[in-house]
Structure 1
Amino acid sequence: MAPRDLIDIDRIFMEPAVADYPRGREILSRFPNAERIAVPSHWNIPELHGNEGSVEDWVRIKRSTLVLGVKKGLAMRPNGRSAHFIAPSTSNGCAMACAYCYVPRRKGFSNPISLFVNVEAVSAAIARHAAKQGPLPEPDQIDEAAWVYDLGENGDLSVDAMICDTVRDLVGLFRTLPNAKGSFATKAVNRDLLAYDPQGRTRIRFSLMPAPIARVVDVRTAPIRERIAAIDDFVAAGYEVHVNFSPVILYEGWEADWAELFAEIDGSISDAAKAQLKCEIIMLTHNAGLHEVNLGWHPKAEALLWRPDIQETKRSEGGGDNLRYRTGWKGKWLTRFKVLLAEHLPYCRVRYAF
């Protein structure tokens, strides 16, 4: 998907202080013809958040609308799964529209990209935190030698980098932190990132699933084959490149489709990429509220995602009704997935599975 097909901004909602920041002025200058709408907070835009009517315009809003704000909270949150810490987000929302994405549950419906313009404050907070940590005491499932900070919990940094230089700044920051790495997952291929010179201090995780399923649920993302083809180039450019097998969606024939994907990976990437390849495995979690929203714009996806016959409800910490594959059976399916992976990609170590 070409950048203009993904992002063609004609409307910007912005907090009052945005123009006081260099990054804010940089972004505004890139879209001089966009309508500018002042809002008190990026979290409080009734026209976008909680507006059920926007379901009909889901993709149009994703492509044409941008929100700019100032990040308030700068705390690091312990993680212990994919990363040691979740860094303060420099963005929220996404131009892509994956049918299973959890962010719409929190912020409402289409949820286009929100960018935070005080990137210097975010970078300084990460640097201070890393300095206090000292060396990683011992290797663990997250990394052998460095503290890892997840940078893109609520968005996709490969797409953010099409709009401004924040991702370039973050990659540059981690070049200067000898005991820390940045990390983010992506479903886009932005080759501009190849020139960022990460020097092994940024981990990019390409999310992968069988292509026939991705064509239904990974809306407005890079094709699976394109993501696989990018792995070697990103390794050569100095990134640590892992893969996320996420989400694993169960359906009749899922094992054969995943085996085919593993074979494609094995036959496509170089020995250098294989030598450093690790993965995360995340089984699908769905949500009752998101199910209702999806029925308004993409019901075909719900035939795959909404499976009460093999799912059970679990109340989330935020009070929502999440659907997960049934206890007991989920463990068996996850074990079967790992066996398939070991058969086809024996060199790909599982860092985290859930």
Structure 2
Amino acid sequence: MFPEKVYYEPDALSYKLGQALKKKYSEVPWVPVESHNRIDELRTQPNSAFRDLKRLLIVGVRKTHRYVPNAKTSDFLVPYTSSGCSAMCLYCYLVCNYNKCSYLRLFVNREEMLEKLKRTALRAERDLTFEIGSNSDLVLENTVTHNLEWTIERFAEQEKGFITFPTKFSMVEPLLPLKHHGRAIFRMSVNPQEVIRTIELGTSPLKQRIHALNQMADAGYRTGLLIAPVILLDDWKKQYLELLETLSSELSERAKRGIGIEVIFMTYSYVHRAINTEGFPKGPDLFDSGRMTGRGKGKYCYRPEVRAEAEEFLRLEIEKRFGPSSILYIV
């Protein structure tokens, strides 16, 4: 059962969404807390409890609404209706921000967040693109709150600006009939199936992700593709070559038409290693001393010469299948 328990800020129950969640999950314990950001009984849990923490749900009111300028596929990163996730990817960048407390947090003041989004879009001199899924997977969250469905149609009504969000999940059926007016950009994150099976725990299989991307393209959404994060295992060339062959053969022509591809190499950290060692003792060790080097406090990235080889390989193979202008960026 998910969730096994809900921790909530009492103020959250003064919002319609908070009341709806209380009714939806009335059969599990609800524990009041002062702040969704500081739940001491969870923060003090050992790393070995990471899996158990992922079965909890936190309900609160978002207080931070500062937009962060972005220079990749959007103009701004927007704090939106959730943070964290119930999946357990062993490299998850949210772990760097939240440590073991990267569980799913839902924020019930969605009207306030959407109004700021629409107001910012309307005041701009040009169409702005807002990344609303940088802190969570909104397709996964949508199975709990229906917030993504709620957002897409309401944002698209004004016909100015774009929202975009990435996902590792295939549950897109509720999004297909929406009147999005081309204002929502759907981006699917992919990896070789063996990486998904052993490292991206609790996410949708590759075949289902590809099918979901095709569905969204057929529904008229603008679509994109992330190959992220690129993980250089011993047989990485073989795995990523197979991935690209699968994408080339199974993505529909409509999905491939004008698709933009983002390529992001994995950054790992001491925090990841500590949690994975204790929480997933039989899982793969993603730290590779032969290929990695230090990057800032407690973080690791691939050595420049290793990264350069992999980038050259991926660029060549992607452009061979999807065209020379298909890659938006590689980082």
> So what's the TM-score if we normalise by structure 1?
0.88
Is this contact kept in 2: 1:277–1:349, CA < 8 A? yes
Amino acid of the structure 2 residue aligned with 1:115 = L
Q: Which residue of 2 aligns with 1:261?
A: 243
Q: Which residue of 2 aligns with 1:155?
A: 136
Q: Which residue of 1 aligns with 2:50?
A: 58
Going from structure 1 to structure 2, the CA distance change for 1:328 and 1:177 (only over 3 Å counts) comes to farther
Going from structure 1 to structure 2, the CA distance change for 1:347 and 1:231 (only over 3 Å counts) comes to farther
Is this contact kept in 1: 2:95–2:271, CA < 8 A? no
Deviation at 1:339, TM superposition (A): 0.6
Q: Does 1:13 align with 2:4?
A: no
Deviation at 1:148, TM superposition (A): 1.2
Q: Does 1:87 align with 2:72?
A: no
Q: Distance in 1 between matches of 2:272 and 2:33?
A: 26
Q: Distance in 1 between matches of 2:45 and 2:282?
A: 22
Q: Does 1:46 align with 2:40?
A: yes
Q: Which residue of 2 aligns with 1:216?
A: 198
Q: Distance in 2 between matches of 1:295 and 1:82?
A: 34
Q: Deviation per CA, 1:4-47: give whole Å up to 9, x if none.
A: xxx62231101120110011111111111121111000001112
Q: Distance in 1 between matches of 2:158 and 2:45?
A: 42
**Which residues in structure 2 correspond to 1:141-180 (within 5 Å)?**
146-180=127-161
Is this contact kept in 2: 1:243–1:279, CA < 8 A? yes
Is this contact kept in 2: 1:188–1:222, CA < 8 A? yes
Shifted more, 8-17 versus 282-291: the winner is: 8-17
**Which residues in structure 2 correspond to 1:1-354 (within 5 Å)?**
8-52=2-46, 55-63=47-55, 65-135=56-126, 146-190=127-171, 191-303=173-285, 305-315=286-296, 320-346=297-323, 349-354=326-331
SS at match of 1:106: helix
Is this contact kept in 1: 2:50–2:275, CA < 8 A? no
Is this contact kept in 2: 1:99–1:294, CA < 8 A? yes
Is this contact kept in 2: 1:82–1:352, CA < 8 A? no
> So what's the TM-score if we normalise by structure 2?
0.94
SS at match of 1:154: coil
Going from structure 1 to structure 2, the CA distance change for 1:285 and 1:343 (only over 3 Å counts) comes to same
Deviation at 1:313, TM superposition (A): 0.7
Going from structure 1 to structure 2, the CA distance change for 1:328 and 1:125 (only over 3 Å counts) comes to same
Q: Deviation per CA, 1:42-69: give whole Å up to 9, x if none.
A: 00111222422xx334334323x11011
> Once superposed, what is the RMSD of the aligned Cα atoms?
1.7
Q: Distance in 2 between matches of 1:299 and 1:349?
A: 39
Deviation at 1:302, TM superposition (A): 4.2
Is this contact kept in 2: 1:66–1:114, CA < 8 A? yes
Q: Deviation per CA, 1:202-229: give whole Å up to 9, x if none.
A: 1111110111122111000000111012
Shifted more, 177-186 versus 227-236: the winner is: 177-186
SS at match of 2:257: helix
Amino acid of the structure 2 residue aligned with 1:59 = R
Deviation at 1:110, TM superposition (A): 4.8
Q: Deviation per CA, 1:263-317: give whole Å up to 9, x if none.
A: 11111122111113211000010011211111012245442x20121111111xx
5+ residue gaps in structure 2?
A: none
SS at match of 2:18: helix
SS at match of 1:19: helix
Is this contact kept in 1: 2:266–2:301, CA < 8 A? yes
Q: Distance in 2 between matches of 1:194 and 1:58?
A: 34
Q: Distance in 1 between matches of 2:325 and 2:218?
A: 18
Going from structure 1 to structure 2, the CA distance change for 1:128 and 1:275 (only over 3 Å counts) comes to same
SS at match of 1:250: coil
Deviation at 1:104, TM superposition (A): 2.1
SS at match of 2:201: coil
Amino acid of the structure 1 residue aligned with 2:237 = E
5+ residue gaps in structure 1?
A: 1-6, 136-145
Aligned residues: 330
Amino acid of the structure 1 residue aligned with 2:264 = I
Going from structure 1 to structure 2, the CA distance change for 1:131 and 1:163 (only over 3 Å counts) comes to same
